[in-house]
Each structure stands twice: as structure tokens, then as C-alpha cells.
């Protein structure tokens, strides 16, 4: 089978994708697959890379690249594509749409589900209508110096920066989370503990998206569940994030030595089952395929809150998704084979 692995990409998560992509390439069985690594640089140019098993570290780019002038022609003879891209122009349905046009089979969610899950506001709207509990929120858009708030009854109101802050203060207690609607790896996400931090956090989030969310801060444990499958779904055991910073930020995800992702043994069978069932339901409601990592909070009163769906979660051999599937019983190499098999049958 001729398998193309696409990694890198134009998004803010380029570096993370390089690590995920090269880790996948290093672990694919070369006796089963003819591997064609394709690197996309930060400007969006596609390159064919020589196949080798060297794993790059965060921030490195591959060497000996050959520019691909016509990506459609290059992909013509490829059987399956593994788009290991995180964030915008990769996890958001754009690459998936291109592959659909080319009639290619590919690993993971298709165009519509990728687009929905990349956008935190649309994910909320769709999952709310399926009765899945999420954090309370407001949507904010910016027009020159004015802000438009859309509340979750779809009521719109225009504000200057003072009335915007007042509106938020009247609705939420602190801490409040501010996030770009389409983000990943916590880029542009801020936890505001006091009113003074709000406006900078809002402006920062607008650097990454023209639509942002203001969200009630959830106090509780942060847990994740990996889903694998097309129609018949496997839900992994539950993993937990333990962070010694105030939330799971970019630095704590990729730069801290003290971050811990673990398989907790003190979450009851009942809660674990509920989380697995909500994860499967969310996957189906959003029409996901192949894989997704579904992230939750468990509040102190045991209420389960879905935080987000990641359609192409971090994929180094120590990332949470492979770790959870390993816990289920599929090691990294088996998991790659399963995902490629699912792609062929999707």
C-alpha cells in the first residue's frame, strides 16, 4: 500500500504536527507500507521528504526537501493518506476537502466533522442540541472598536469595551476562560482570575480567530477518552491531566517536565462508563470517523462536562491518545494499522 503521511502545516500547531507526524512515520511498518512523507511548511508549501526513521524534535524541520509543484498529481497514485495535521488548514476540514476532491481514502474524520469539531462554538451548538452538558458560554465578535455578543439563546447585542466587560461580569463568576473558537494546543487561551485580566485576554484571543468564546471556569478534574472506529466504536479507559500550572497551557503541554498524564484508579466505574458513553455519543453526533480524543471535566459534585473534541489529537508515542489506546490494548504500531484499516473502509 502506498501511504502518504502529511505533517507540518500552516497552523500555530505546526511544530506539534512535525513531532506527531515524524513519530508516526518512524513507527509505520515499512514492510506493509510504502511510505511517502509530505511536509507542509509554515507558508503552506508542500514538500516530498525522503523516508527515514529519524525522529525530529519540537521545532525542527525535515531536510532534503523536494518541492511538490502539483499536489494533485503527486497524490494520484497514493492509496491512503494520513493527514497528521493539527489546527487550522489541517484538522479543520480543508485538507480533508481536498482529499475528497481527489477521491482519496484518508485517516480520521471527514470534511464536515473536522470542520465542526475545529470550531468550539459549532461543537457546542451541536452537542447542546444532543443534550450533552458543556460549560456555559458567550460568543464575541469584533467590529473595529465594537464588540458583538451572541448569548446562548442566540440574542445579539453590541458593546464598547466597558459594557462588554460589564456584561461578562454580570454573567460569570471568576475564573473565566477566554478562547479563540478555532484553536488548539491552548494557543490564545487565557484563564482570567480577575476583571483586570479580561480585556487583554480577549484581545489576545482575537489574534487567532475573529470569533471567540467567554466560558465559565469549571472547577474539577480534567479527563480524556480516546475513541477509535467508524460505526462500531471503541472507547478507551479514561486518562487524567495533572498540571502544576493554573491550567493545561501550551507550555505545560509541551515544555514542562512536571506535567502528568495518567490513568487514574479512583474514578468510579459508574462515572467512567458515563464518560465513555458521552464520548461515543458526541463522536456519533458530530459524524466523526476513525479517531477522536474527547476531553471532559468532572466537577466536584461528579457532574460531567464535555470540553472539546480533537479530531487529530497529539500523536507522539507518549501523547494521550496513543497512551489511552495502549491502555485499551492496542500498542502504537497496532493502532496505526487499525487507523489505516478504518480509513480504507470509511
Ligand X SMILES: Nc1ncnc2c1ncn2[C@@H]1O[C@H](COP(=O)(O)OP(=O)(O)O)[C@@H](O)[C@H]1O
**Sole window of 42-50, 54-62, 179-187, 314-322 interacting with ligand X (rule: CB under 6 A):** 179-187
The CA-CA-CA angle for residues 54, 85, 294, to 5°, reads 115
- For residue 218, state whether it binds ligand X (rule: CB under 6 A): yes
Sequence-ordered list of residues with C-beta below 8 angstroms from that of 82, at least 6 positions apart, any chain: 3, 4, 5, 6, 24, 106, 107, 339, 340, 343
Q: Contact between 189 and ligand X (CB under 6 A)?
A: yes
Question: With binding defined as CB under 6 A, does residue 55 bind ligand X?
Answer: no
183 is a contact residue toward ligand X (CB under 6 A): yes
Residue 104 vs 253, nearer CB to ligand X? 253
Residue 135 sits at the vertex; the CA angle it makes with 131 and 140, to the nearest 5 degrees, is 110
Q: Are 18 and 7 in contact (CB under 8 A)?
A: yes
Taking a C-beta distance cutoff of 8 angstroms, is the pair 105, 343 a contact? yes
- Applying CB under 6 A, which of residues 247, 263, 274, 337 lies at the interface with ligand X? 247
Judge contact between 86 and 17, C-beta under 8 A: yes
Q: How far apart (Å, rounded) are the C-alpha atoms in residues 1 and 24?
A: 16
Only segment of 22-30, 185-193, 282-290, 320-328 that touches ligand X (CB under 6 A): 185-193
Binding mask 21-50 for ligand X (x = CB under 6 A): ------------------------------
Q: 286-325 mask for ligand X (x: CB under 6 A)?
A: ---------x-----------xx-----------------
Q: Of 158 and 318, which CB lies nearer to ligand X in the complex structure?
A: 318
Site for ligand X contains 332 (CB under 6 A): no
Is the separation of the CB atoms in 202 and 138 below 8 Å? no
Phi, psi dihedrals of residue 204, rounded to the nearest 5°: -65, -45
Nearer to ligand X, 92 or 216 (CB): 216
Sheet bearing 290-299, strands edge to edge: 260-262, 234-242, 220-229, 290-299, 304-310
Cα 118 to Cα 50: distance, rounded to the nearest angstrom:
31
Binding mask 114-153 for ligand X (x = CB under 6 A): ---------------------x------------------
CB 102 within 8 A of CB 272: no
Residue 186, interface with ligand X (CB under 6 A)? yes
Which of 217, 234, 254, 263 lies at the binding interface for ligand X (CB under 6 A)? 217
**Which among 49-57, 109-117, 161-169, 180-188 is the span making contact with ligand X, rule CB under 6 A?**
180-188
Query: Rule CB under 6 A: which residues touch ligand X?
Result: 135, 177, 179, 183-186, 189, 215-218, 222, 247-248, 295, 307-308
Amino acid at each position: 500500500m502506498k501511504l502518504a503521511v502529511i505533517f507540518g502545516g500552516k497552523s500555530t500547531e505546526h511544530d506539534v504536527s512535525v513531532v506527531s507526524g515524524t513519530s508516526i512515520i518512524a513507527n509505520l511498518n515499512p514492510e506493509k507500507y510504502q511510505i511517502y512523507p509530505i511536509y507542509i511548511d509554515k507558508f503552506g508549501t508542500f514538500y516530498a521528504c525522503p523516508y527515514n526513521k529519524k525522529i525530529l524534535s519540537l521545532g525542527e524541520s525535515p531536510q532534503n526537501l523536494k518541492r511538490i509543484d502539483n499536489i494533485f498529481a503527486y497524490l494520484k497514485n497514493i492509496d491512503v493518506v494520513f493527514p497528521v495535521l493539527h489546527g487550522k488548514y489541517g484538522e479543520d476540514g480543508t485538507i480533508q476537502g481536498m482529499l475528497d476532491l481527489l477521491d482519496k481514502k484518508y485517516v480520521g474524520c471527514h470534511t464536515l466533522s473536522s470542520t465542526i469539531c475545529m470550531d468550539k462554538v459549532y461543537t457546542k451548538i451541536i452537542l447542546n442540541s444532543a443534550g450533552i452538558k458543556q460549560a456555559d458560554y458567550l460568543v464575541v465578535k469584533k467590529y473595529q472598536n465594537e464588540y458583538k455578543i451572541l448569548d446562548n439563546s442566540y440574542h445579539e447585542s453590541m458593546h464598547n469595551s466597558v459594557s462588554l466587560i460589564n456584561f461578562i461580569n454580570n454573567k460569570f463568576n471568576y475564573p473565566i476562560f477566554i478562547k479563540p473558537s478555532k484553536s488548539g494546543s491552548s494557543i490564545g487561551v487565557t484563564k482570567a482570575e480577575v476583571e483586570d485580566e479580561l480585556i487583554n485576554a480577549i484581545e489576545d484571543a482575537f489574534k487567532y480567530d475573529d470569533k471567540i468564546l467567554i466560558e465559565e471556569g469549571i472547577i474539577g478534574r480534567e479527563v480524556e477518552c480516546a475513541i477509535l472506529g467508524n460505526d462500531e466504536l471503541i472507547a478507551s479507559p479514561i486518562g487524567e491531566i495533572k498540571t502544576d500550572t493554573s491550567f493545561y497551557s501550551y507550555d505545560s503541554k509541551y515544555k514542562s517536565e512536571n506535567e502528568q498524564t495518567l490513568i487514574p484508579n479512583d474514578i468510579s466505574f459508574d462515572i467512567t462508563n458515563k464518560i465513555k458513553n458521552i464520548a461515543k455519543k458526541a463522536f456519533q453526533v458530530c459524524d466523526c470517523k476513525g479517531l477522536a480524543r474527547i476531553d471532559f471535566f468532572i466537577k466536584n459534585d461528579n457532574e460531567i462536562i464535555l470540553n472539546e473534541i480533537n479530531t487529530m489529537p497529539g500523536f507522539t508515542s507518549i501523547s494521550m491518545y496513543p497512551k489511552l489506546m495502549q491502555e485499551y490494548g492496542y500498542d502504537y504500531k497496532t493502532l496505526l494499522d487499525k487507523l489505516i484499516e478504518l480509513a480504507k473502509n470509511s
